[in-house]
Amino acid sequence: MKVLVTGAFGNVGTYAADELLSRGATVRCLDIPSSLSKRKARPYAGKVEIIWGDIRNTEAVARAVQGVDAIVHLAFIIPPKSEQCPAWAETINVGGTWNLLQAALASKSRPRIVFSSSIALYGRTQHLAPPRKADELLHPYEDYAYHKMTCEHMLHASGLPWVILRFGAVPPIEFGELDPLMFEVRMDDRMEYLAPMDAGAAVAAAAMLPGLEGKTLMVAGGPSCQVTGRQFMQRSFDALGIGMLPESAFSQTPFHCDFMDTEESERLLHYQHYSFDETLALQRRTLGWKKLFVPIARPFIRRKLLAMSPYYKRHSGQEAPKASSRPVRVIPSIVDRSNGARSRIKA
């Protein structure tokens, strides 16, 4: 079985490639030729086929899709970039997905599409009783979530075989790749963590196992990964030797995270291998020799992290970051917000 992974050298992509290879698949990777992508691609030389290209380029996409049996679609611009430059992000998120679907429709193999969606589609749900389920009403409030929802609609209308995986929080475990999105999580918010290794296992299973077409599944770490924002931040920073940051660095507004009903996805995909505690232990091990220098660099690291938080800047009296102006759209928007906010998609 030949599987294409888009965004192959991002947070989840390499783990997806590893899992696919371990299952005996032939793997083709599509990603942009950035310095980071090329560095992460080095260990895969000779193991996978790599196509360097932009998902907005129809020729590159057609070449990548040719002859594959399944597509794991991970290439997507996420917050904060998706909110700072929404028109640009839409050309990649929605336009790129459109290109992928058109290439798949033109392919003789008509591959199964495994789409990585998000709990962001449900919006702010902290006032509701958990867990979130696949057949609930959707209330997106960000460009990123609207892009995900639009892509789900496109899949439904495509006529192609598809599986949609709505992921919980999948932060990277590598030191040095801390995401500024973490500051958007309120301390009391419920959230469900998913180790990127388990995310890779889920998409690989969704690509290769039979009988999953038409499924929309909630994918997260399970009860052992259900924490509050405060617990997640405190324990993650402690694991890195940095120590908890001031709570004033984090948003006071509920974020798009929650506990999730993953019973069906785990029963079908068998991907929940890492508890939150086990992931923290792995995170500590990834530090390697660097952990010797963390105590020395700790003040610098904390200052650098706090500089990433718009909330800490405001609280401390520093000048707040200027809001990014939205660029003029160069293509008509294909995101329809008129009916989207209360869209229901059946699993």
Closest by CA position to 205, among listed 68, 23, 11: 23
Phi, psi of 116 (to 5 degrees): -85, 100
CA-CA distance, 137 to 332, in Å (whole number)? 27
Domain that holds residue 157: 2-172+195-222+260-289
- What is the C-alpha separation between 232 and 225, in angstroms, rounded? 9
Task: Tokens 């000048």: give the residue.
Answer: 319
Instruction: Establish how many alpha carbons lie within 13 A of residue 43's alpha carbon, considering only the half-sphere containing its beta carbon.
Output: 8
- Residue 85 falls inside a structural domain: yes
Burial of 20 (0-12, 13-18, 19+ CB in 10 A): buried
Predicted TM-score of the model (pTM): 0.89
* DSSP letters for 140-162: --SHHHHHHHHHHHHHHHH-S-E
The number of folded domains in the chain is: 1
CATH code: domain of residue 129: 3.40.50.720
Share of the chain above pLDDT 90, in %: 81
Q: What is the pLDDT along the chain (347 residues), one digit of tens a residue?
A: 999 999 999 999 999 999 999 999 999 999 999 999 999 999 999 999 999 999 999 999 999 999 999 999 999 999 989 999 999 999 999 999 999 999 999 999 999 999 999 999 999 999 999 999 999 999 999 999 999 999 999 999 999 999 999 999 999 887 666 678 899 999 999 999 999 999 999 999 999 999 999 999 999 999 999 999 999 999 999 988 999 999 999 999 999 999 999 999 999 999 999 999 999 999 888 888 888 888 999 999 999 999 999 999 776 655 444 433 333 332 334 444 444 433 333 33
Q: Where are the alpha helices (DSSP H) in 273-334?
A: 276-287, 294-307, 310-315
Q: What whole-number distance in Å separates Cα of residue 250 and Cα of residue 318?
A: 15
Does residue 311 form part of some domain? no
- Give the model's pLDDT for residue 311: 93
pLDDT digits (tens, 9 = 90+) for 162-192: 999 999 999 988 766 667 889 999 999 999 9
74 is a domain residue = yes
* Buried b / exposed e along 137-155 (16+ C-beta atoms within 10 A): ebbbebbbbbbbbbbbbbb
10/36 Cα distance (integer angstroms): 9
CB 233 within 8 A of CB 243: no
pLDDT in tens, 70-104: 999 999 999 989 999 999 999 999 999 999 999 99
Altogether, the residues listed in the chain come to a count of 347
Would 86 be classed as within a structural domain? yes
Q: Answer whether residue 214 is part of any domain.
A: yes
d(CA 235, CA 242): 10
Q: Is 55 part of any domain?
A: yes
Which residues on neighbouring strands pair with residue 48, listed in sequence order?
45
Phi, psi for 189 (deg, rounded to 5): -65, 140
List 192's β-bridge partners, or say none.
Answer: 226
Separation between Cα atoms, residue 174 and residue 14, nearest integer Å: 13
Residue 184 lies in a domain: no
